[in-house]
Amino acid sequence: MRLKATPEDFVVEEKIDLNLQPSGPWAVYQIEKRGLTTLEVQRQLARLLKVSRQQVIFPALKDRQALAIQYVTVPASKAKRTLSRPGFRAQHIGYRTHPLSPRDLLGNSFTLVIRALTPEEAAYLRQRLPLLERIGLPNYFDEQRMGSYAPGWGFIGKAILQRDAQEALRAYLARPFVGDPPDIRAFKKRASSLWPDWQAMLQIAPKPSNLRSVLTYLVDHPQGYRKALNLIPQRLLAIYLAAYQSYLWNRLIGYYLHRFYVEHNVPQAFLPIANEQLPFHLSLTSELVHQLAQERIPLPHHRAIYTGQLKEIVPQVLAEEGLSLHEFKARILQRAYLPRGTRPLLVFPKDVALEPAAPDPLHPEHLALRVRFSLPPGSYATLVLKAATLKERDT
């Protein structure tokens, strides 16, 4: 099986309450992008419109390896009818009284082409995907959320929560993350051998980049780790915190679900996400589906309250990380915070539709399958496909 062989094989369109007006202080653009992250598009739009990145407001982030249709607000005084650069096109579609926010999101619709399938694999997917619409799947955060994970070391978000500004800064400047683009990865590999020669690191830092701003400050303030850490863009710091929080949320519900599955004799398989083996159910009775679907699990936060079995599981998982729930507040940051809230334990793909399998022109002697479905905000189409391919032998 192969996904994302081309950008057109993974199409995601934001479903959002735009509430467009004939005029207003905020202009709304529809963005079509491919081969770029949302943050890269944000930087380019800010440059084209001559505004700060903070004034280019996306309610959600989308993957680089996809054809994505999403929406953004910018100050109306700077709006132009269309904007385009290699990798994206922006079309002005109206105005709003307030900028878009995550509260406006309704979900995402996906059109995916799954390639390099055997006839048996295609048949299994055609059977499993409609089943997931009925029984759901654990609402794990998928790999895309873990872009700031440094293999062999861990998460920069953890160092921030531990108030270790020096180690967090070292991760930002000299530890390659799984989600780093090639130029940043190459810089970090060289920078790791130069640490802490700030001047030498500055000379090889990519232009333009925030890395240079941080290093310029460190040249003049060699021990100013906390201040330098706070020079990293607020949106990036928030992403780093959310990535580690998401990783731990996955672990918490993984423990919880494994207990539940064993107690109720539920067939399960295990999926690796960010160095964890996380359980999936292969089938559930309607009664158990209803029971799990009612549950919303708090994200780790210093004000989160856990009950039932999670009251025992959460301290256990956090102790393995060398943390307590009290420490889930980014006390060394000035402008970035951990998200607070709950997340549904299960997610249910909706409007699942599958076309007949057809010969795959990119992989002779194999089949391609086009599928469509929608998900609520914050859930992952890639996870749906992984769940649809798992079998008991994957335990």
Nearest Cα residue to 328 out of 158, 192, 168 = 158
**Is 9 an annotated catalytic residue?**
no
- Pick the catalytic residue from 9, 63, 142, 360: 63
How much is the CA Rg of the chain, to the nearest whole Å?
A: 22
Copy the structure tokens of residue 200.
């030498």
In sequence order, the β-bridge partners of residue 32 are 69, 89
Cα(298)–Cα(303) distance, rounded to whole angstroms?
10
Residues with active-site annotation: 63
